[in-house]
Amino acid sequence: MQTIGHYIDGQRVAGTGARTKDVFNPNTGAVQAKVSMATPAELDAAVKSAEAAQIKWAATNPQRRSRILFDYKALVEANMDALAAMLSSEHGKVLADSRGDVIRGVDVIEFACGVPHGQKGEHTYGAGPQIDVYSMRKPLGVVGCITPFNFPAMIPMWMFGMAIATGNACILKPSEKDPSVPMRLAELFVEAGGPPGLLQCINGDKEIVDAICDHPIIQAVSFVGSSDIAQYVYARATANGKRSQCMGGAKNHGIIMPDANMDQAVKDILGAAYGSAGERCMALPVVVPVGEGTAERFLEKMLPAIEAMKVGVSEDPDADYGPVVSEVHRDSIADNVTKAVKEGATLLVDGRDFKLQGYEDGFFIGPSLLDNVTADMETYHDEIFGPVLQIVRADNFEDALKLPSAHQYGNGVAIFTQNGRVAREFADRVEVGMVGINVPIPVPVAYHSFGGWKRSAFGDANQYGMEGLRFYTKVKTVTQRWPAPEEQSSDSAFVIPTF
């Protein structure tokens, strides 16, 4: 059986650590590989190699760095189908969704190709008598990027694309559940002409996460995962003086106003709630119909739509979603449905006992729909991260607005309405970082930035876009004067200079 090691200095290397973890095929439930858990010594060797590569990379002019990223973008696109198949085999999402995972990452690489424009700094000629002031955005050095299992292509490219474009080296620590795509992405960077050592891929678990947070050479840490771990990583990294951006969990709401186009809203919510088996931080697991009539019209159309969905293996082109990533996670989702019923929710569609014929050992779970969920229920408060949609009924706009605003998470939210004034007021007042208006999954395009509020994000910098550029650079400001010999003063100035 294959054992996946690490990608260091432009080549795959076997791990020297004694510990490994299983990599499953979620479609069959079978172990398909082992992945080596790196030791702190292996991380240290990779960091030192990255540090040496970064010095030369930072000295490379921005347009040359950009050209390599252009070639990298083209190479990833040429390998799209192979990457998607690899991704589906370890994660379980259907192939079309896996291709979307890669494409949304490539979007950020494409934006990163234009970093020379964003990194050029500011200049003021004549800020004082014969004095000019200009600023430079300098790379940080070596940065650590810790990514989750649910987007093993997109989120790594969100991070290392911006980090590398701005002149940094990157230590990528992907999820041990699906490590093959991140490894291949690192390999493709070198094939595209990137310097060996600049993008290292180190597999591991908490031991390596801690080592990344503690390593004195690593200057910044970017993380995406659950909120509890995001808070932990943020605290540990910042305690060591590192710049840190840590994205956590979510419980995104979809508000349906009485005037919404219900046919479109149902289609949008169906895909946003159940796509990728709900394993998205931007999934839409809570729907809030405003008014009893709205709720009943929603159910009238949503129930048959759920019944018509197809759960299947990743390779099935007709499947709407595939298995979840692990048996443990599947059981956790089912336990949450059971808990919601005990809390008083009404179970309208029960997916807990779903089995796919011929793939009974796979990590499949059917869609569930829960009605009459209330804000005091634990299962409403927590992130389920599975194909479970909860209905929380609201009497009016104000009650609907309070639900996402008061929730512990503030990642994304959507409102479905045909009233522009209501939509504008909602977008202005809701206490959530990303808002969709008739858009169920409001993940911003690559030239904006991604980030939530409250326990969905720790740190003050968002992912990618200009926020990403600022996160991976530090500003140096130069004030200069070139006086002629006859203009030089012989007196010392003992007061602060004024211009």
Q: What is the phi/psi pair of residue 166, to 5°?
A: -90, 5
- In this predicted structure, the answer to whether residue 497 has a pLDDT above a threshold of 80 is no
pLDDT in tens, 46-105: 999 999 999 999 999 999 999 999 999 999 999 999 999 999 999 999 999 999 999 999
Label residues 31-47 b or e (16+ Cβ within 10 Å = b).
Answer: eebbbbbbbbebbebbb
Do 328 and 348 contact (CB within 8 A), yes or no? no
CA–CA gap between residue 191 and residue 195 (Å, rounded): 9
pLDDT of 121 = 87
- Which among 35, 43, 42 is positioned nearest to 177, based on CA atoms? 35
The two three-digit tokens of residue 389, written as one number = 């949609």
pLDDT in tens, 135-190: 999 999 999 999 999 999 999 999 999 999 999 999 999 999 999 999 999 999 99
pLDDT in tens, 279-327: 999 999 999 999 999 999 999 999 999 999 999 999 999 999 999 999 9
Secondary structure letter of residue 314 according to DSSP? T
Question: Is the model more confident about 494 or about 80?
Answer: 80
Catalytic residue among 113, 170, 201, 281: 281
pLDDT in tens, 430-488: 999 999 999 999 999 999 999 999 999 999 899 999 999 999 999 999 999 988 877 77
Q: Alpha carbon 187 to chain centroid distance?
A: 21
Do 427 and 434 contact (CB within 8 A), yes or no? no
pLDDT in tens, 18-56: 999 999 999 999 999 999 999 999 999 999 999 999 999
- Helix or strand holding residue 213 (H, E): helix 206-214
CA–CA gap between residue 361 and residue 15 (Å, rounded): 30
pLDDT in tens, 230-288: 999 999 999 999 999 999 999 999 999 999 999 999 999 999 999 999 999 999 999 99
Distances (CA, A) of 330 to 184, 322, 353: 27, 12, 11
- Helix or strand holding residue 454 (H, E): strand 453-454
Average pLDDT of the segment spanning 109-116 = 95
- Residue 498 gets the label, from left (phi > 0), alpha (psi -120 to 50) or beta, of beta
pLDDT of 490 = 67
Do 160 and 169 contact (CB within 8 A), yes or no? no
Q: In the annotation, is 281 catalytic? A: yes
Enumerate domains of the chain plus CATH numbers: 3-248+456-478 (3.40.605.10), 253-437 (3.40.309.10)
Secondary structure letter of residue 462 according to DSSP? -
- Which among 376, 405, 408 is positioned nearest to 392, based on CA atoms? 376
Average pLDDT, the chain: 96
pLDDT in tens, 332-364: 999 999 999 999 999 999 999 999 999 999 999
Rounded CA Rg of the chain: 25
Enter the pTM of the model. Answer: 0.94
